[in-house]
Amino acid sequence: MAEKKINTNSKNLKMGFAFEKVNYQLFIASIIVVGIGFFLMSGSDDIYSFTKITIAPLVVVLGFALGFVSILYKSKNKKAQD
């Protein structure tokens, strides 16, 4: 019967970060956008203002969408794939 060869050569194993620098930058940007959205939502005067009920939730959702994109983004750079 055929035996499977297990390659235990340490040259083929590359250890590194799960994401690239761009992913972390996008994720930090998404945290900042979500923070801005929550800041726009805060306050006690005029709780039914257009900014608090329309703009701020949209900014928060866009921040979460940017966070999702930052996780799924893959670089098209050849160096990153090697």
Judge whether residue 7 has pLDDT over 70. Answer: no
- More confident: 76 or 39: 39
Q: What is the pTM of this model?
A: 0.73
CA 37 to chain centre: 17
Q: Which sequence spans correspond to the domains of the chain?
A: 21-74
Could you tell me where the DSSP H helices lie in the chain?
21-41, 50, 56-72, 78-81
pLDDT of residue 82: 52
CA dist., res. 53 & res. 29, Å (int)? 23
Eight-state DSSP code of residue 54: I
pLDDT of residue 18: 85
DSSP secondary-structure letter at 55? I
**Which pLDDT value is given to residue 79?**
64
Q: What is the pLDDT of residues 9-57, one digit of tens each?
A: 556 667 788 889 999 999 999 999 999 999 999 988 888 999 999 999 9
